[in-house]
Amino acid sequence: MDNPDAIDNRLTDLEIKVSFTEDLLDKLDQVIIRQQEQIDALVREVVLLRQQQPSADMGAQPRNLRDELPPHY
- Cα three-residue angle 8-11-17, rounded to 5 degrees: 145
Q: What is the pLDDT of residue 60?
A: 56
Residue by residue, pLDDT tens for the chain (73 residues) are 679 899 999 999 999 999 999 999 999 999 999 999 999 999 999 999 999 987 655 555 667 777 777 777 5
Q: What is the pLDDT of residue 53?
A: 84
Whether the full predicted model's pTM is greater than 0.75, yes or no, is no
Radius of gyration of the chain (CA): 29
In the chain, domain spans = 1-50
